[in-house]
A and B are shown apart, each in its own frame.
Chain A
Amino acid sequence: MSTALDTDVRPEDRFISAFEVNHGQALNGTNASIAQQREDAIERFSALGIPTNSLEAWKYTDISKIIDRPYALPLAPEVPSVDPSDIAPFTIDDMDAHRVVLVNGRVDPSLSDLGDLPSGVVVSSLTQAGDAHPDIVEAHYGQYADFEDEALTALNTAFVQDGAFVYVPSGTVVEKPIFFLHVTAGQEDLFLQPRHLFVVEDGAIARIVEAQHSLTDAHTFTNTVTETFVGERANLEHYLVQDEGPNASQVHTRAGQQKDDSVYSTNTVTFSGEVVRNNANIEADGSFCESNLYGLCIGKEDMHVDNHTQMNHVQPDCNSNELYKHVLNDESTAVFNGKVLVTRGSQRIDAYQQNDTIVLTHDANIYTKPELEIYADDVVCSHGATTGQVDEEGVFYLRSRGLSERRARILMLQAFCDEVLSEYKIDALRNHITEKIRQRFANYFS
């Protein structure tokens, strides 16, 4: 069912009344703890309100106008029938993967191709997982995405219905990437709130690739929350490709927790979107963890991309690495706000953070805020940020080798992106992204 939003009232109230209408119909509506959490979440959302620029964390990104559009707010969005040919451009066929297609946040089995999964590995919708594996869902769901200070996480938690679910049991290696292709479809302006849960148990290894695309010209706002658990000695690589087109806005929150000796890497690339806000929060709740956060934003037209990261070191002897790069063209705006927190007693932390931006036009804007908050003395933490243009000496060198100025500049931009791309451990995915970037740059400087 769907509740049309009325634009005359306080935007928060529309969500609250929609919540009341749909009361009890969400995920595991009968489960007491989840039901209670939803009640708490809507209350918290009501108290926090939709974030505005006056909040430090939202200083450079205003979503209040975008969120105030008359979107339909379906609790369980209908899944319009999507033809396989519609999604063909996005399937990254070279990448041999366990593929799941989600339309409007719901798994479409007819488009999916799971292939052979190792025994014990579960890849399904969150709703199915709630029925089939309630113990796993209950042990992890709602544990990592804290909604105390995040209105949109609270909103997602209140409306939780469905999304993707991955479970990799102890000691299991999933050789092929697990690929979630998210598409939005339909003629209506939609407000979607998918909720994903990825659990990788002790000693397991998995790679998850998510790609977001749109099949509609309608305005959409997707408020995603993904919770991730990486067990002891486990290794999870998590890739996100965002290319939903100029009418799609989103707030994408990833909250992950990792245990002793684990490795967790996230890699986000943003090609398009109206307003895109990514929150990547990692808590290294174990010793000898390695956490990697990589990001790339290829800005065009008037897109606005805000990457907000929070790296919490709450245990000693860990290291973290962060590298975000932006290439901004046209009137695009990028925001980077990275925060490294080292709590009292978390000694011997090695944390590094870097943000580099190339601004190509007078109308593009960059706002960077790398933060360090350190409460332990035996640490090496540093960050760097640069903003500038294509290196003229590099261009000169390439021209001296016979390249045209245009080609030289494009090559310099590609090289700039390469530092992030080289962190893609899946060859087919890296080639796919590199090609997309090459196509984007092809008409630059003409």
Chain B
Amino acid sequence: MSTSETEYLKGKASEDYKHGFYTDIETEKAPKGLTEDVVRYISHRKDEPEWLLNWRLKAFRHVRDRIDSGETIDWAHLDYEAPKFDEISYFSAPKDKASYDSLDDVPDEILETFERLGIPLEEQKALTGVAVDAVMDSVSVATTFKEKLKEKGVIFKSFGEAARDHPEIVREYMGTVVPYTDNLYAALNSAVFSDGSFVYVPEGVTCPMELSTYFRINEAGTGQFERTLIVAEPGAYVSYLEGCTAPMRKENQLHAAVVELIAHEDAEIKYSTIQNWYPGDPDTGEGGVYNLVTKRGLCKGDNSKISWTQLETGSAVTQKYPSVILAGDDSVGEFYSVAFTKGHQQADTGTKMQHIGKNTKSTIISKGISADVADNSYRGQVKVSKNADNARNFSQCDSMLLGPDCGAHTYPYIESNNPTAQIEHEATTSKVGDDQMFYCHQRGLGEEEALKLIVNGFCQEVLQELPMEFAVEAKELLDIELEGSVG
């Protein structure tokens, strides 16, 4: 990198985390620690049916055993102190009411918070036609556009509401894709999950609008454990987006979510994430969110399709592998990801594509960008089982290094037990080319514009998969990140 470039980059002091404010709202928190009482308290507070409490308790006993036996997850390329499970408060609700019936009931401070985050519920309602479910700490604050969705038979509710109103659907699907025994964090979530979103799209219905959830961790010393369940009946289509932020805090906050997607015959689910949790102090690495999430989709029926798109710019530590189980014949799985790490951020992210049905296809496009002293790893698995005839996979994992002190790593696992499978994997690691920079300069672009252009171009393949409104937001977010600390 040329000297002027380096100077420019050094000169660009790290930009403040835009969403790092804290909203002073009275909250009620569960006592710290993971005990049966806490689980019962959460369930009671949320007025949950008996079966759900029992499910939680089963998961609680399982996770307690695993924690007590000293289990840790240490195989990833991540270096961080394991969360202290007994020092986290597992439930935090704004004010004294744990759920709101309509927007009018929501305290103004909360609405203001979301407005500052750029999701004015009212405005979005009118302008973008996006239905938003906003989750602050543990409680779902508002779900917009309920009525319009109701006409089509689409159910879009907070998880808590859904468990009360549609127990038969929730019971049928909950835990079928990510069982509570799946991994330590999924088990923890199953015991103490607070809220989240539930989407049900009936047979043959194309959801008339994009559905969106916004998550925010507000309180200190809390974790966020939301649970999302999306069910698309035969022939249904739904596009869903989640966004995440958190205030700046010195201690590490834990975010351990579980997302389950089920696509029946001919159904399609498109799940997009813009993750911008607080990444910790860029100079010291202090604080920040531990984003340890289990996301998995099941292409249950023939011809079904599940597509994951993610832009990961936040969190001190990210470990997530949105996966697709391609059980139905001719089903399709897709994974598009941009992971940007800077400062002391660490990310170990990727996907798992499990080909089980015949003629299944999967595509993996992963772009990792690493700056400062950050570490960015792609870890992905493509597995073709014995009977998955004519499985087809294409994977491409590109890494870009911005600076001499960061790291970029690629760990693909390819397992094929079928001779008809065709699997291709490609990965490259390189820096922004001097020739690319030179060309941009020669066309009159400054250092900053040139870098933005090149990085955006690098990510284009993924960003274009995002729903339009969010593609713009994603691009802006990426630009801001680049201004902050590329170097």
Chain A residues proximal to chain B, CB less than 8 Å: 56, 344-345, 347, 357, 359-362, 364-389
In the complex, which residue of chain A has the Cβ closest to the Cβ of B413?
A: A369
Q: Is the CB of B422 within 8 A of A369?
A: no
In the complex, which residue of chain B has the Cβ closest to the Cβ of A362?
A: B419
Which of B191-199, B234-242, B339-347, B428-436 is the contact stretch? B428-436
Interface size class of B (residues with CB under 8 A): 35 or more
Q: Is the CB of A377 within 8 A of B402?
A: yes
Q: Which of A365, A376, A382 contacts B428 (CB 8 A)?
A: A382
How long is the Cα–Cα vector from A207 to B77 in the complex, in angstroms?
38
Q: Mark B371-389, 1 if CB is under 8 A from A, else 0.
A: 0000000000000001000
Q: Is the CB of A377 within 8 A of B406?
A: yes
Q: Is the CB of A381 within 8 A of B425?
A: no
A345-B404, A372-B409 known; A389 vs B420 contact (CB < 8 Å): yes
- CB A119 to nearest CB in B, in angstroms, measures 46
How long is the Cα–Cα vector from A61 to B427 in the complex, in angstroms?
25
- CB B325 to nearest CB in A, in angstroms, measures 19
Most buried by B among A359, A365, A374: A374
- 3 tightest Cβ-Cβ pairs between the two chains A and B: A377-B401, A368-B414, A382-B428
Q: Mark B267-296, 1 if CB is under 8 A from A, else 0.
A: 000000000000000000000000000000
In the complex, which residue of chain A has the Cβ closest to the Cβ of B431?
A: A377
How long is the Cα–Cα vector from A215 to B410 in the complex, in angstroms?
43
Q: Is the CB of A388 within 8 A of B429?
A: no
Q: Is the CB of A387 within 8 A of B413?
A: no
B464 CB-CB contact with A under 8 Å = no
A56-B75, A364-B419 known; A371 vs B431 contact (CB < 8 Å): no
| CB-defined contacts of B420 to chain A, threshold 8 Å | 389
Q: Which of B386, B407, B414, B430 contacts A387 (CB 8 A)?
A: B414
- CB B348 to nearest CB in A, in angstroms, measures 12
| CB-defined contacts of A373 to chain B, threshold 8 Å | 77, 407, 409
Q: Is the CB of A385 within 8 A of B419?
A: no
A374-B429, A377-B431, A382-B428 known; A360 vs B419 contact (CB < 8 Å): yes
How long is the Cα–Cα vector from A56 to B413 in the complex, in angstroms?
11
Q: Which of A357, A370, A371, A379 contacts B401 (CB 8 A)?
A: A379
| CB-defined contacts of B77 to chain A, threshold 8 Å | 373
| CB-defined contacts of A369 to chain B, threshold 8 Å | 411-414
Q: Is the CB of B426 within 8 A of A362?
A: no
B14 CB-CB contact with A under 8 Å = no
- CB B184 to nearest CB in A, in angstroms, measures 16
Main secondary structure on A side of the interface with B: strand
How long is the Cα–Cα vector from A180 to B300 in the complex, in angstroms?
57
How long is the Cα–Cα vector from A375 to B399 in the complex, in angstroms?
12
Q: Is the CB of A382 within 8 A of B427?
A: yes
Q: Is the CB of A379 within 8 A of B424?
A: no
Q: Is the CB of B386 within 8 A of A362?
A: yes
A374-B401, A376-B404, A377-B403 known; A387 vs B421 contact (CB < 8 Å): yes
Residue pairs across A and B with Cβ atoms less than 8 A apart, 21 shown, are A345-B404, A347-B404, A364-B419, A365-B416, A366-B416, A368-B412, A368-B414, A369-B413, A371-B412, A373-B407, A374-B409, A376-B401, A376-B404, A377-B1, A377-B402, A380-B428, A383-B427, A386-B422, A387-B414, A387-B416, A389-B419
Q: Is the CB of B423 within 8 A of A386?
A: yes
- CB B361 to nearest CB in A, in angstroms, measures 14
| CB-defined contacts of B409 to chain A, threshold 8 Å | 371-374
- CB B427 to nearest CB in A, in angstroms, measures 5
A359-B421, A379-B429 known; A372 vs B408 contact (CB < 8 Å): yes
How long is the Cα–Cα vector from A386 to B75 in the complex, in angstroms?
25
Q: Which of B75, B402, B427, B431 contacts A384 (CB 8 A)?
A: B427
B415 CB-CB contact with A under 8 Å = yes
Q: Is the CB of A387 within 8 A of B422?
A: yes
Q: Is the CB of B428 within 8 A of A370?
A: no
Q: Is the CB of B428 within 8 A of A381?
A: yes
| CB-defined contacts of B413 to chain A, threshold 8 Å | 367-369
- CB B150 to nearest CB in A, in angstroms, measures 48
B405 CB-CB contact with A under 8 Å = yes
Q: Is the CB of B425 within 8 A of A367?
A: no
Q: Is the CB of A379 within 8 A of B419?
A: no
Q: Is the CB of A382 within 8 A of B429?
A: yes
Q: Is the CB of A344 within 8 A of B416?
A: no
Q: Is the CB of A385 within 8 A of B410?
A: no
How long is the Cα–Cα vector from A341 to B206 in the complex, in angstroms?
48
Q: Is the CB of A366 within 8 A of B414?
A: yes
How long is the Cα–Cα vector from A369 to B411 in the complex, in angstroms?
7
Q: Is the CB of B405 within 8 A of A344?
A: yes
In the complex, which residue of chain A has the Cβ closest to the Cβ of B379?
A: A371
Q: Is the CB of A381 within 8 A of B429?
A: yes
How long is the Cα–Cα vector from A361 to B419 in the complex, in angstroms?
6
How long is the Cα–Cα vector from A387 to B421 in the complex, in angstroms?
7
B183 CB-CB contact with A under 8 Å = no
Q: Is the CB of A379 within 8 A of B431?
A: yes
In the complex, which residue of chain B has the Cβ closest to the Cβ of A357?
A: B416
B456 CB-CB contact with A under 8 Å = no
Known: A360-B419, A382-B426. 9 other contacts (CB 8 A): A56-B75, A366-B414, A368-B413, A369-B413, A376-B404, A378-B431, A382-B427, A387-B423, A389-B422
| CB-defined contacts of B416 to chain A, threshold 8 Å | 357, 359, 365-367, 387
Q: Is the CB of A374 within 8 A of B405?
A: no
A362-B419, A384-B426 known; A374 vs B407 contact (CB < 8 Å): yes
How long is the Cα–Cα vector from A388 to B425 in the complex, in angstroms?
12
| CB-defined contacts of A367 to chain B, threshold 8 Å | 413-416
| CB-defined contacts of A385 to chain B, threshold 8 Å | 412, 414, 423-425
A370-B412, A371-B410 known; A359 vs B419 contact (CB < 8 Å): yes
In the complex, which residue of chain A has the Cβ closest to the Cβ of B392?
A: A388
In the complex, which residue of chain A has the Cβ closest to the Cβ of B411?
A: A371
- CB B407 to nearest CB in A, in angstroms, measures 5
How long is the Cα–Cα vector from A368 to B393 in the complex, in angstroms?
14
| CB-defined contacts of B176 to chain A, threshold 8 Å | none
Most buried by A among B406, B408, B422: B408
How long is the Cα–Cα vector from A378 to B404 in the complex, in angstroms?
8
In the complex, which residue of chain A has the Cβ closest to the Cβ of B420?
A: A389
How long is the Cα–Cα vector from A375 to B430 in the complex, in angstroms?
11
B418 CB-CB contact with A under 8 Å = yes
Q: Is the CB of A374 within 8 A of B424?
A: no
| CB-defined contacts of B402 to chain A, threshold 8 Å | 377
- CB B414 to nearest CB in A, in angstroms, measures 4
How long is the Cα–Cα vector from A374 to B404 in the complex, in angstroms?
10
B417 CB-CB contact with A under 8 Å = yes
Q: Is the CB of A377 within 8 A of B404?
A: yes
In the complex, which residue of chain B has the Cβ closest to the Cβ of A368?
A: B414
- CB B139 to nearest CB in A, in angstroms, measures 40
Most buried by A among B1, B419, B424, B431: B419
Q: Is the CB of A379 within 8 A of B430?
A: yes
How long is the Cα–Cα vector from A32 to B343 in the complex, in angstroms?
49
- CB B138 to nearest CB in A, in angstroms, measures 36
| CB-defined contacts of B403 to chain A, threshold 8 Å | 377
- CB B479 to nearest CB in A, in angstroms, measures 21
| CB-defined contacts of B399 to chain A, threshold 8 Å | 372, 374
Q: Which residues of B, 129-164, contact A by the 8 Å Cβ criterion?
A: none
How long is the Cα–Cα vector from A365 to B414 in the complex, in angstroms?
10
Most buried by A among B411, B414, B420, B423: B414
| CB-defined contacts of B427 to chain A, threshold 8 Å | 370, 372, 382-384
In the complex, which residue of chain B has the Cβ closest to the Cβ of A358?
A: B419
Q: Is the CB of A386 within 8 A of B425?
A: yes
How long is the Cα–Cα vector from A376 to B401 in the complex, in angstroms?
8
| CB-defined contacts of A361 to chain B, threshold 8 Å | 419
| CB-defined contacts of A368 to chain B, threshold 8 Å | 412-415, 425
How long is the Cα–Cα vector from A105 to B423 in the complex, in angstroms?
41
